[in-house]
Amino acid sequence: MNVQEVRKMFPILDQQVNGKPLVYLDSAATSQKPKQVIDKIDDYYRRYNSNVHRGVHTLGTYATDGYEGAREKVRAFIKAKSTEEIIFTRGTTTAINLVASSYGRDNLGPEDEIVITPMEHHSNIIPWQQVARTTGATLKYIPLQKDGTIDLKDVEETVTDKTKIVSVMHVSNVLGSINPVKEIAKVAHKNGAVMVVDGAQSVPHMSVDVQDLDCDFYAFSSHKMCGPTGVGVLYGKKEHLEKMEPVEFGGEMIDFVGLYESTWKELPWKFEGGTPIIAGAIGLGEAIDFLNEIGMDNILEHEHKLAQYAISRLAEIDGVEVYGPKERAGVVTFNCDDVHPHDVATVLDAEGVAVRAGHHCAQPLMKWLDVTATARASFYLYNTEEDVDAFVNALIKTKEYFGDVFG
Ligand code: PLP
């Protein structure tokens, strides 16, 4: 399938914004949804909307099959051993919070350390700050190299036998760097720690095998991978999940309830209190079918080419600084001399080009880069070289607009 055929599957892309054809370069924030995902959710609400795991009636059976079928699709997509290891959450943030609140609180004490990096998204910083505060554990950071990459020597030096949890993003939402999480997991395990991976920017863009990475927990969001908002996944090794306490209590997650004591369902349901995100999970399952049809290796290669093309075109404009290493996923973060990134994004928007501006939920990384904010263009399977050209041409207009401040 070529990119023009792929584009036809995304109805939202076929529109004008501010009188110009839409060029959507903000997929790292949230991706667009193909028609088949929209139709699948519509079909659920029109034909078999019903609660799951409860009734014996026919619609309830369809809904349960759809929901549990989606769990199996997720399992196969990230190559987990068993559906017991796949927990539906609201997204990456909730998934990491679950690990921090359950595993973190029960396994950390004042002598222990949690190790993360300064490039993490706030969702992979604040839960650990909170657990460190409540348990007395120490939060430590693996230093970054000048280009924003992680050197394994620094991992070896930072992770010690006091470390109980190492949590690192697989792909940076700002720098686009692809972190060596498999090697970091080896260092974590050698020291007796568990490895948590924030996969929000990797699962949508590349083939991920959680068993090969040998991570203990892996978190990601549906809305960044062509699926609906409001649903995400926590993968966890069964040996850990079995020992962990739920963090949400109520309906759906119980086995027996007495007046003073209750017991929990088996995995994975003990972590899914309340009516689950049924339509969301079914939509995510359809998004996985769609991504599999295109092929994750094709998606990665396509985005890699677009990012390299964008970087080479940006080099033509004086005053544009691009952050991050040369080898990267489909994210290009930049600044234009003294022009505030919000102003850059506003002028680009007037040209129909949607990019993100701000701190990208990575304030410690902004501090490390010594900037208050940046602009970011992020690419996905539906973007084209023409999108990159439109973006660069709009940036040239921005330069003309801001005159002396820029370049
Ligand atoms: N981690 C990374 C690397 C992200 O890019 C994001 C979202 O931008 C998140 C975590 C949080 O994802 P969500 O808001 O879907 O929970």
Q: Of all helices (H) and strands (E), which one includes residue 335?
A: strand 331-336
Which residues does 356 contact at the CB level (< 8 Å), separation at least 6? 26, 28, 29, 345, 375, 376, 378
Would you state the structure tokens that stand for residue 24, as one six-digit string?
């959507």
Q: Are 310 and 332 in contact (CB under 8 A)?
A: yes
Whether residue 208 sits in one domain with residue 79: yes
Whether residue 12 sits in one domain with residue 66: no
Q: Residue 335: CB within 6 Å of ligand 1? A: no
Q: Are 244 and 267 in contact (CB under 8 A)?
A: no
Phi first, then psi: give them for residue 169, nearest 5 degrees: -75, 145
How buried is 122 (Cβ within 10 angstroms: 0-12 exposed, 13-18 middle, 19+ buried)? middle
Q: Residue 173: CB within 6 Å of ligand 1? A: yes
Residue 407, pLDDT > 80, answer: no
Whether residue 305 sits in one domain with residue 165: no
Whether residue 217 sits in one domain with residue 149: yes
Q: How many domains does the chain have?
A: 2
- What is the structure's pLDDT at 129? 98
Q: What is the mean pLDDT of residues 293-319?
A: 96
Would you state the structure tokens that stand for residue 242, as one six-digit string?
């079995």
- Laid out side by side, the sheet with 320-323 consists of 320-323, 331-336, 374-378, 356-358
Would you state the structure tokens that stand for residue 111, as one six-digit string?
């002598």
Q: Residue 123: CB within 6 Å of ligand 1? A: yes
What is the distance between the alpha carbons of residues 79 and 310, in angstroms, rounded to a whole number?
A: 32
Whether residue 219 sits in one domain with residue 205: yes
What is the distance between the alpha carbons of residues 175 and 220, in angstroms, rounded to a whole number?
A: 18
- What is the structure's pLDDT at 332? 97
- What is the structure's pLDDT at 56? 82
- What is the structure's pLDDT at 400? 86
pLDDT digits (tens, 9 = 90+) for 194-237: 999 999 999 999 999 999 999 999 999 999 999 999 999 999 99
Instruction: Pick from 96, 117, 122, 173 the residue to mutate for probing ligand 1's pocket: most ligand atoms within 8 Å of its CB.
Output: 173
Given the residues 215, 226, 336, 361, select the one marked as catalytic.
361
361 is catalytic: yes
Question: Helix %, strand %, coil % for the chain, to 5?
Answer: 45, 15, 40
Of 264, 236, 238, the C-alpha closest to 251 is 264
Of 324, 292, 320, the C-alpha closest to 225 is 292
The bridge status of strand 113-116 relative to strand 138-141 is: parallel
Query: Please, what is the end-to-end C-alpha distance for the chain in angstroms?
Result: 40
Residue 401, pLDDT > 90, answer: no
pLDDT digits (tens, 9 = 90+) for 326-370: 889 999 999 998 899 999 999 999 999 999 999 999 999 999 999
Beta-bridged to residue 320, according to DSSP, are 336
pLDDT digits (tens, 9 = 90+) for 32-82: 999 999 999 999 999 999 999 977 899 999 999 999 999 999 999 999 999
What is the distance between the alpha carbons of residues 325 and 329, in angstroms, rounded to a whole number?
A: 10
Asked whether residue 32 is domain-assigned, the answer is no
What is the distance between the alpha carbons of residues 395 and 335, in angstroms, rounded to a whole number?
A: 11
Q: Residue 201: CB within 6 Å of ligand 1? A: yes
Residue 242, pLDDT > 80, answer: yes
Cα–Cα distance list, 65 to 50, 154, 270, 289 (Å) = 11, 47, 18, 16
Q: Residue 228: CB within 6 Å of ligand 1? A: no
pLDDT digits (tens, 9 = 90+) for 108-144: 999 999 999 999 999 999 999 999 999 999 999 999 9
Q: Which of the 8 DSSP states describes residue 364? A: H
Geometric angle at alpha carbon 129, from 333 and 280, rounded to 5°: 65
What CATH number is associated with residue 308? 3.90.1150.10
Geometric angle at alpha carbon 23, from 179 and 178, rounded to 5°: 5
- What is the structure's pLDDT at 372? 94
- What is the structure's pLDDT at 326? 87
Only one residue has tokens 């960044």, namely 224
pLDDT digits (tens, 9 = 90+) for 372-393: 999 999 999 999 999 999 999 9
The residue whose C-alpha atom lies closest to atom 14 belonging to ligand 1 is: 93
Neighbours of 256 (CB within 10 A): 9
Whether residue 356 sits in one domain with residue 258: no
Full residue range of the structural domain in which residue 311 is found: 3-25+295-406
Separation of 198 CA from ligand 1 center, angstroms?
8
pLDDT digits (tens, 9 = 90+) for 146-197: 999 999 999 999 999 999 999 999 999 999 999 999 999 999 999 999 999 9
What CATH number is associated with residue 260? 3.40.640.10
pLDDT digits (tens, 9 = 90+) for 307-327: 999 999 999 999 999 999 988
Residue 29 CA: nearest ligand 1 atom is: 8
Asked whether residue 83 is domain-assigned, the answer is yes
Separation of 195 CA from ligand 1 center, angstroms?
18
Q: Residue 200: CB within 6 Å of ligand 1? A: yes
Whether residue 273 sits in one domain with residue 164: yes
What is the distance between the alpha carbons of residues 311 and 151, in angstroms, rounded to a whole number?
A: 24
SS3 category, 331: strand
Residue 224 CA: nearest ligand 1 atom is: 15
Whether residue 205 sits in one domain with residue 120: yes
Q: Residue 169: CB within 6 Å of ligand 1? A: yes
Asked whether residue 30 is domain-assigned, the answer is no
SS3 category, 372: coil
- What is the structure's pLDDT at 404? 67
Whether residue 94 sits in one domain with residue 141: yes
Q: Residue 198: CB within 6 Å of ligand 1? A: yes
Only one residue has tokens 């600044």, namely 335
Whether residue 303 sits in one domain with residue 285: no
What is the distance between the alpha carbons of residues 288 and 292, in angstroms, rounded to a whole number?
A: 6
What is the distance between the alpha carbons of residues 203 and 284, in angstroms, rounded to a whole number?
A: 12
Asked whether residue 31 is domain-assigned, the answer is no
Whether residue 338 sits in one domain with residue 253: no
Residue 172 CA: nearest ligand 1 atom is: 3
Residue 171 CA: nearest ligand 1 atom is: 3
Residue 90, pLDDT > 80, answer: yes
Only one residue has tokens 């929901």, namely 67
Residue 91 CA: nearest ligand 1 atom is: 16
Separation of 93 CA from ligand 1 center, angstroms?
6
Separation of 10 CA from ligand 1 center, angstroms?
22
What is the distance between the alpha carbons of residues 284 and 230, in angstroms, rounded to a whole number?
A: 10
Residue after which a domain boundary falls, among 268, 292, 316: 292
- What is the structure's pLDDT at 178? 96
Q: What is the mean pLDDT of the chain?
A: 96
Whether residue 94 sits in one domain with residue 209: yes
399 falls in which pLDDT band (50, 70, 90)? confident
Asked whether residue 222 is domain-assigned, the answer is yes
